[in-house]
Amino acid sequence: MLWETISVVRDLPRLHEIASVMIRYGGGDLVRVLGISGVLERAGRVLNWHSSSEISQLDAPVRVRRALEELGPTFIKLGQVLATRVDVFPPNWIAEFEKLHSRVPPVPYERLRPDLVEAIGGEPAEVFAEFDPEPLAAASIAQVHRATLKDGSRVVVKIRRPGIEGVIQADLRIMEHAARLLESEVPDSRRYDPVQIVSQFRRSLNRELDLAKEARNIDQFARHFADEPLVTIPRVYWEYTNDRVNVQEEIIGMAGVAPDKLRAHGLDPKLLAARGANAVLSMVLEHGYFHADPHPGNVLFLPENRLGMVDFGMVGMLTDVRRNQIVDLLHALTRKDEQALLQVLLDWSGESVGDEDRLAYDVAELMQSYDDLQLKDVKIGGLLNDITAVMRDNNLVLPADLTLLFKTLITLEGLGQQLDPEFHMIDHVTPFVEHVIQQRYTPQALLARGRKSMRETLEVLADVPRDLRRLLRDMRRGRVKVDLDLKRLDHFGNQLDRASNRLTMGILTASLVIGSSIIMTVKGGPQLFGLPFFGLLGFLIAFFNSIWIIFSIWRSGKH
């Protein structure tokens, strides 16, 4: 409790800024629910509880997006993560979150240079033959500069912005506290699982803060595409790369998706769209490790209709089990098999399906709406959006590792259609899915699965006697426990624990005051300022205890 108090006091200026922005954009009720207003008002900070008439006329998604932009890099990144939660937010919210960009004014080179010198172990002139102090690009986490190594290799140097880690960690502390309060005090928010969203965001942001992590991602993709001449992955120069600086090969190519401009440079947009789709689908369905942000700025078009991929800060990973589920989902979609699709959704939702019959009906209705369409006219993006809408209507949450995948497939289809208006994602998905399905039933695959199943079965059978003996022994000794996960009871228990702590401290404080008063009347013993030393010490401890109790009560909003 004491550490939380210190943390809140430390983050109070930022908390005031966040609360002010939320109130200005119509989030005053949320600020009150979270208890932020009480903390700030008691700290002597005045909040204006009225938003302007111009802002109040905006739609809720627009207000939230503008508030996130005003709150800065951490919240812009949060909005970008929320843009992947197509299972939680409807399309109009996703469209607004997608407008969030982390482009920010660059840090002046003179301010950046000390961090760069420390990270690379010397002055830029000692490491690079040339270094351009003008940034090539600037984002909320890092900015990029062009450079040339001593051997003539052209590279880009990605440098983390000075001081950004402290700002982000403060914002994350506030977000986690707000998410816990929101989930505890607003029952309707639990279907969105705000604590899990913030936890996912923390992991994502911490990975992005570590520029060496991005370098490891690049090396992983380079190994996967080592034998693929049509896809170029930049080389990492590890001798200059660490958590604050990432030095990698500069890929020279065309960015953007204007077909006429590509044709003018001798490139074939239709072929580029097909190769881009095949490259990302290979990452997803064959490697289980994929570039999670294949927007036009991260895909470069090279001579001979080759592709270059950059910016590997955001990647997704799928386990073998999850990859098989994705294949089953795509196979069900291409065959319009509602039972297979329903089974995949049930696997994802686990035990959280409230009304399985309603879910089955919604899936059947979904597939019915696609009956009159030919396979080539089915848009994967629209279909995935429809599936996530079914999940939202049934209060189901898409597993966190799949949110990036769905977003990637939707982004990829949009990129392909910008390059080629006749691009059909389903045409590229079907061959991959059929190939993976065929691979499942080869003699080698069947034999491997049989061996694995036999081994697991034997292991379970071998453990049965021991597990039964342990269970019976625990039952005889009364050690069998039943755990119930009731969040409201946990919250009540925490409140009761805090109340008992305050009561105990209050009793101790009163005892100290009474005891110190008695000591003050006793002559003799060590003295300070002419008064009994131990009496003064008791009063001093009682004073600080009183301050702690009062501040604790203020924080909880209890008077």
Catalytic residues: 293
The three-state DSSP-derived secondary structure of 136-195 is: CEEECCEEEEEEEECCCCEEEEEEECCCHHHHHHHHHHHHHHHHHHHHHHCHHHHHHCHH
Q: For residue 158, which of 205, 121, 122, 106 has the smallest C-alpha distance?
A: 106
DSSP state, residue 254: B
What six digits make up the tokens of 53? 């008439």
In this structure, the strands spanning 299-302 and 231-232 are unpaired
Q: What is the rounded distance in angstroms from the CA atom of residue 373 to the CA atom of residue 103?
A: 41
Cβ-based neighbours of 48, under 8 Å, separated by 6 or more: 20, 23, 24
What six digits make up the tokens of 447? 């034999």
Q: CA torsion 255→259→264→268, rounded to 10°? A: 90
Q: What is the rounded distance in angstroms from the CA atom of residue 245 to the CA atom of residue 160?
A: 6
Residues 112-151: b if buried by 16+ CB within 10 A, e if exposed: bbebbeebbeeebeebbeebbeebeebbbbbbbbbbebee
Q: What is the rounded distance in angstroms from the CA atom of residue 361 to the CA atom of residue 280?
A: 33
Q: What is the rounded distance in angstroms from the CA atom of residue 314 to the CA atom of residue 311?
A: 8
What six digits make up the tokens of 250? 């500069």
What six digits make up the tokens of 310? 């950059």
CB 180 within 8 A of CB 195: yes
Q: What angle do CA 453, 456, 459 make, to 5 degrees?
A: 150
Q: For residue 111, which of 61, 157, 162 has the smallest C-alpha distance?
A: 162
What is each CA distance from 362 to 183, 290, 342, 359, 401, in whole angstroms?
28, 31, 9, 5, 24
Q: By three-state DSSP, how is residue 531 classified? A: strand
Q: CA torsion 534→539→545→546, rounded to 10°? A: 170
